[in-house]
Amino acid sequence: MNELKDATRQETMIQQQLIDRGIRDELVIAAFRRVPRDRFFPEGSKHEAFADRAAPIGHGQTISQPYMTALMTQRLDLQKDHRVLEVGTGSGYHTAILAQLAGEIFTIDRVKPLLDEAWERLMELGIRNVHFRHGDGAIGWEDSAPFDRILIAAGAPVLPETMLMSQLADGGIAVLPVGTLEKQMLIEVRRQGDQLISTDICSCRFVKLLGLAGWTE
């Protein structure tokens, strides 16, 4: 009965928070239907899973609002043969969504307990096309580059151009927040040869991107 109730709440979330707000990519919507969002919340806060807001997951980190996760995913325009770098594994929820849509996901987080919990959740769900790394996501994953797509789920003070130029494939797309701690802009970046072409998407607010290409601790 609880599983049926959660499935109904998840479908309501998808309809009201994604479809009604303009998420139109059927593959993205299908991925959200396949991944049970409540599985990525601690037992004591599962009631928050389908709420229209970000939620804390411990260690000063958050799981993004469902709409923001969907919007970022849609803007990546993922294909089944894509290799994707995700900076900021967090709960592993967005990782699981990406894994439904792309060939290989390389996800990195500097918070080891969160990374371990995310690994366990994805193993329980039978997701096997994800590589995990504990480390400074702000410098990317150089020995596995280039990537067709890069998703950064933490806000950098400026665009990390060096990392994007060295690790984003020519013709590739990156989606990330950039700005101050109080005001950030979600940006889509396309690499065209030796140029990075940026397009503003919407205002947003993410936790800080810590590390060499981000904020200092």
Catalytic machinery residues: 64
Residues near 50 by Cβ (< 8 Å), separated by ≥ 6?
9, 10, 12, 13, 37, 38, 66
What's CA 126's distance to the chain center, in Å?
19
Largest Cα–Cα separation, the chain: 55
Q: How many helices (H) and strands (E) would you count in the chain?
A: 6, 9
The CA-atom distances, in angstroms, between 51 and each of 17, 21, 46, 65 are 9, 15, 10, 8
Rounded CA-CA distance 146/165 in Å is 9
With beta carbons less than 8 A apart as the criterion, state whether 170 and 193 touch.
yes
- What is the C-alpha to C-alpha distance for residues 179 and 202, in angstroms, rounded to an integer? 12
